Amino acid sequence: MTKLRITEIPDEKPVRVTVDLPADLPRDLVAYAALVSQNGQPVDPTRLVPHRT
């Protein structure tokens, strides 16, 4: 059986991607952020979008 060796993981830098979204999605995120921020701290709507890794 061949022995597998773990090599160094290459440095992966984030990449900026621009997409066109339907007009209602940003409005919904702003409305949702307003509801969430009622619990205390203000919430930036861009932080509500999940990031995949």
pLDDT value for 18? 85
Q: Is this model's pTM higher than 0.75 or not?
A: no
pLDDT value for 20? 83
Give how far Cα 10 sits from Cα of 13, 35, 49, Å: 9, 40, 26
Q: What is the pLDDT of residues 3-52, one digit of tens each?
A: 877 777 677 787 788 878 788 888 888 888 888 887 777 778 777 776 66
pLDDT value for 37? 82
CB 48 within 8 A of CB 32: yes
